[in-house]
Structure 1
Amino acid sequence: MRCIFPSKIILVMFILIALPILLTTEGANATIYYVSTTGSDFNPGTSTQPLRTITKGVLKLSAGDTLYVASGTYTDSIDTWKVPFQNGISWSTPITVAAQPGHTVTIKPKEGNPFFWIAHSQNKYLIIKGFIIDGQNTNSHGFKFEGSAKYVRVQDCEVKNSRLSGILVTGNSSSYHEFINLNVHHNGTTRLDHGLYLSSGNNLIEKSKVHHNKGYGLHIYNGSTTAANNNILRNNTVYNNTTSGQWGCGIFLSSGSGNQAYNNLAFGNFAGLCTHYRASNSRFFNNITYENKVYGIYVGSSTTNGARVENNTVYKNGTYGIFVGDGANTTIIKNNIVHANGINFGLTNTTSSNNFDSNPSFVNAAGNDFHLQAGSPAIDKGTTISGLSADFDGKPRPKGAQFDIGAYEYQGSTSTSSTSTNSTPTTNTFPPPLISPTPGSTLTSPTVTFSGSHTSTDLEHMLSIGNTHGGSQISSSKSMGTSHSMTVSGLPASGIIYVSYWTRKSTGWFRTIHYYRMNR
Structure 2
Amino acid sequence: MRLRALLASAGLLTGALAALSPSAAHAAPARYEAETSPAVCTGTIDSDRAGYSGSGFCNGGNAVGAYAQFTVNASAAGTATLGIRFANGTTTARPAGVIVNGSTVQTPSFGGTGAWTTWSTTTLTVSLNAGGNTVRLSPTTANGLPNVDYIEVETGSQPPAAALYVATGGDDANPGTLAAPLRTIQRAVDLAQPGTTILIRGGTYAPSTNIQLLKSGTASQPITMRNHDGERVIIDGENMPYTPGAVGSSIPRAERGAVHIEGEYWRLAGLEIIHGPYGIFGLDTSGNVFDRLTTRDNYESGLHLQGASGNNQIINLDSYGNRDPRKNGESADGVAIKEGSGSGNVIRGTRLWKNSDDGLDFWLFLTPVTVESSVAWGNGYNRWNLPGYTGDGNGFKLGGGDPDPAADHVVRNSIAFDNSAHGFTDNGNPGRLLTDRSTAWRNGRTGFEYADSVSVLTRNLAVENQAQASLGSSSSSGNSWDLGGTWTLASTDASTITGPRAADGSIPSSAFLRPASGADVGARF
Answer yes or no: same fold by TM over 0.5.
yes
> Which of the two has higher C-alpha Rg?
1
1:235-246 paired onto structure 2 within 5 Å: 235-243=373-381
Shift of 1:175: 2.2
Q: Do structure 1's residue 62 and structure 2's residue 155 form an aligned pair?
A: no
In 2: Cα distance, 1:470 partner to 1:129 partner: 15
Mapped to 2, the partners of 1:245 and 1:312 lie a distance apart of: 29
| Cα distance change, pair 127–279 in 1 and its aligned pair in 2 (3 A) | farther
* 1:249 counterpart residue number: 394
Equivalent pair of 1:207/1:468 in contact (CA under 8 Å):
no
Determine whether 1:277 maps to 2:277.
Answer: no
3-state SS of paired residue (2:188)? helix
Q: Which stretch has the larger CA shift, 305-314 or 65-74?
A: 305-314
Asked if 2 retains the 8 angstrom alpha-carbon contact of 1:166 and 1:184, the reply is: yes
| Contact 1:30–1:63 (8 Å) recurs in 2 | no
Whether contact under 8 Å (2:267, 2:290) holds in the other structure is: yes
1:104 — aligned with what? Answer: 232
Shift of the alpha carbon at 1:474?
A: 7.8
Query: Per-residue displacement from partner, 1:50-97 (whole Å, max 9, x unpaired)?
Result: 0000000011111111000001000234454xx643x2221x421100
Alpha-carbon offset, residue 468 of structure 1: 8.9
Distance 2:214 2:415 in 1: 39
2:281 to 122, 138, 144: 144
| Structure 2: stretches of 5+ with no match in the other structure | 1-27, 29-159, 242-254, 382-388, 401-405, 512-522
Q: How does 1:60-459 map to 2 (within 5 A)?
A: 60-76=191-207, 77-78=209-210, 80=212, 84-85=214-215, 87-90=216-219, 92-109=220-237, 110-112=239-241, 113=255, 114-119=257-262, 123-135=263-275, 138=276, 140-146=277-283, 148-171=284-307, 173-189=308-324, 190-199=329-338, 200-202=341-343, 203-222=345-364, 227-243=365-381, 247-255=392-400, 256-269=406-419, 270-300=421-451, 304-317=452-465, 319-324=466-471, 328=472, 330-338=473-481, 355-359=482-486, 362=488, 365=489, 367-368=491-492, 440=493
Could you say what secondary structure the match of 2:177 adopts? coil
Could you list the per-position Cα deviations for residues 187-216 of structure 1 after superposition, in whole angstroms to 9, with x for gaps in the alignment? 013122211111233321110110000111
Offset of 1:366 from its aligned partner?
5.8
Deviations 1:384-423 (A, max 9, x none): xxxxxxxxxxxxxxxxxxxxxxxxxxxxxxxxxxxxxxxx
3-state DSSP of counterpart to 2:161: coil
Q: Deviations over 1:310-368 (max 9, x none)?
A: 11011111x210113xxx4x310111013xxxxxxxxxxxxxxxx112035x5xx1623
- Is contact 1:73-1:106 (8 Å) kept? yes
Deviations 1:136-195 (A, max 9, x none): xx4x2111111x321121111110111111121112x12221111011001013122211
Q: Deviations over 1:467-512 (max 9, x none)?
A: 699944589xxxxxxxxxxxxxxxxxxxx86459xxxxxxxxxxxx
Q: Distance in 1 between matches of 2:391 and 2:184?
A: 43
CA distance in 2, matches of 1:32, 1:156: 20
> Aligned AA for 1:337?
S
How far apart are 1:37 and its partner, in Å?
A: 0.6
SS in 1 for 2:429: strand
What is the distance in 1 between the residues matched to 2:259 and 2:430? Answer: 29
Aligned-residue sequence identity (percent) comes to 21
CA deviation after TM superposition for structure 1 residue 251, in Å: 0.3
Paired positions, count: 320
Instruction: Give me the whole-angstrom Cα distance separating, in 1, the residues matched to 2:504 and 2:315.
Output: 13
Paired AA for residue 227 in structure 2: A
In structure 2, how many angstroms separate the alpha carbons of the residues matched to 1:201 and 1:165? 20
TM-score (norm 1): 0.57
Distance, in Å, in 2 between the alignment partners of 1:47 and 1:271 is 49
Let me know the Cα RMSD of the aligned residues.
2.9
Query: Cα offset for 1:282?
Result: 1.2
TM-score for the superposition, normalised by structure 2: 0.57
Query: What is the rounded CA distance, in whole Å, between the counterparts of 2:236 and 2:501 in structure 1?
Result: 32
Whole-angstrom CA distance in 2 between matches of 1:124 and 1:470: 28
From the superposition, tell whether residues 229 and 215 of structure 1 become closer, same or farther in structure 2 (CA, over 3 Å): same
Offset of 1:217 from its aligned partner?
A: 0.4
Give ranges in structure 1 of 5+ residues lacking alignment: 1-27, 339-354, 369-439, 444-464, 476-495, 501-514, 516-520
- Secondary structure class of the residue paired with 1:56: helix
Q: Which amino acid aligns with 2:469?
A: I
Shift of 1:48: 0.5
